[in-house]
Structure 1
Amino acid sequence: MDYSLAIENGPDTIPGGTGILLLHPSIGETDRIDTDFLKEDTDAFLVVSTRTTAREVEQKLEYYDVDESKATILDTLSVERGYSRRSAENVYYVAAPDDLDGVVDRVGRFLDESEGKRRISVDSLTEMAYYADDDATYDATAAMLDHLANHDAVGLFHLSKEVHESATIDRFRELFDVVLDLDEDGNVVVETDL
């Protein structure tokens, strides 16, 4: 199954099972790329949010006119920070951004329980590595990519260029078939092994 990819300078479509790494400056315009990715030919999508709460994710989706009826959100911040959690059919929580087993499990369950064209967005690997560590985050990323391959789904994974050493960035790059390199001016360079 092929998926449309509405990313400038990128291929028109990508096959199911493809993971995309979004390298960005810390102040980069990632929301536009993220929401463009989630809008295209999608039956259901999961946002794994390690930077913002579920409410903030919903506000972003609404602002960029993404169909929220297709959204499932995994909020990794609210429990640890003591924020109120509202129960909703499409919102799930794990204890903290370093609960990587919980994150990987929820990604797998989302893909098991949904049908059609599915996308996931992980925003961001940098926060996961900050709370856990690079090695554990690398292993969790590989596990999530395996879930994508097993379910013919696609995913976009955020990683900040300004936080990690180049060796760490290179290590993560090797996991992905497509790399989007976003600069501070909003320009995107696309590298693909498809």
Structure 2
Amino acid sequence: MDYELAIDNTPDAIPGGTGILLLHPSTGETDRLDTDFLSTDTDHLLVVSTRTTAREVEQKLEYYEVDEERATILDTLSIERGYTRRAGENIRYVASPNNWQGIADEAEAFLEDHDGKLRITFDSLTELIYYADEDQALQAVDRFLELLDEHDAVGMFHLARGVHDEATLERFRERFDGVIELGEDGEVTSEF
């Protein structure tokens, strides 16, 4: 099954099982790319956030007019930070952003519980590296990419370019079928 891509300077469509690495400046505005990815040709979507709370993700989806009825949000911050959690059918929680196995288990449950065209965004691998470490983040990526392949889904994973050295960027880059780069000036380039 193919999925449309509505992001400038990328292929018109990608096959199910494709993982995309989104390399961006640490101060880059990725919400537009993220929501363009999520809102096109999708039956159900999962937003994994190690950077913001579910409430902030909901605000982003609403602002960019992504159909929230199709969205499940995985919040990895609220429990650790002691925030009030609003339980809901479409909001799930993992106790900490360093619990990559719990995050992957929730993603697997989402993929198994939904049919049709499924998309996942992971914002962000940089935060996962910060809370866990680089090797655990790479293990998480490998598990997610296997899940995408098994379920004919697609995913986009954020990584802040300026925060990591070139060797780290390359370790992540080589695992993905496609890389989208957001420049400081907002220009988008890609390699698939």
**Given the two structures, how large is their TM-score scaled by the length of structure 2?**
0.99
Per the alignment, residue 152 of structure 1 pairs with: 152
Per the alignment, residue 33 of structure 1 pairs with: 33
Q: Distance between the aligned counterparts of 1:96 and 1:146, measured in 2?
A: 23
| Structure 1: segments with no counterpart, 5+ residues | none
Per the alignment, residue 89 of structure 1 pairs with: 89
Q: Distance between the aligned counterparts of 1:65 and 1:160, measured in 2?
A: 25
Matched, 1:181 2:181: yes
Per the alignment, residue 141 of structure 2 pairs with: 141
- Opposite residue 55 of structure 2, the aligned amino acid is R
- Cα drift, residue 188 of structure 1: 0.8
| 1:30-82 CA distance string (max 9 Å, x none) | 00000000000100000000110000000000000000000000000000000
Matched-pair identity in %: 64
CA RMSD between the two structures? 0.4
- Opposite residue 114 of structure 1, the aligned amino acid is H
Per the alignment, residue 80 of structure 1 pairs with: 80
Q: Distance between the aligned counterparts of 1:13 and 1:154, measured in 2?
A: 11
Per the alignment, residue 52 of structure 2 pairs with: 52
Matched, 1:112 2:112: yes
- Opposite residue 170 of structure 1, the aligned amino acid is E
- Opposite residue 139 of structure 1, the aligned amino acid is Q
Per the alignment, residue 42 of structure 2 pairs with: 42
Q: Distance between the aligned counterparts of 1:36 and 1:181, measured in 2?
A: 15
Q: Distance between the aligned counterparts of 2:40 and 2:148, measured in 1?
A: 17
Q: Distance between the aligned counterparts of 2:175 and 2:68, measured in 1?
A: 29
- Cα drift, residue 139 of structure 1: 0.6
Per the alignment, residue 129 of structure 1 pairs with: 129
| 1:151-188 CA distance string (max 9 Å, x none) | 00000000000111110100100110110011111101
- Opposite residue 62 of structure 1, the aligned amino acid is E
Q: Distance between the aligned counterparts of 2:24 and 2:119, measured in 1?
A: 20
- Cα drift, residue 189 of structure 1: 1.0
Per the alignment, residue 14 of structure 1 pairs with: 14
| 1:89-140 CA distance string (max 9 Å, x none) | 0000001100011001011110001000000000000000000000000011
Q: Distance between the aligned counterparts of 1:2 and 1:29, measured in 2?
A: 27
Q: Distance between the aligned counterparts of 1:29 and 1:154, measured in 2?
A: 21
| Structure 2: segments with no counterpart, 5+ residues | none
Q: Distance between the aligned counterparts of 1:160 and 1:178, measured in 2?
A: 16
- Opposite residue 151 of structure 1, the aligned amino acid is H
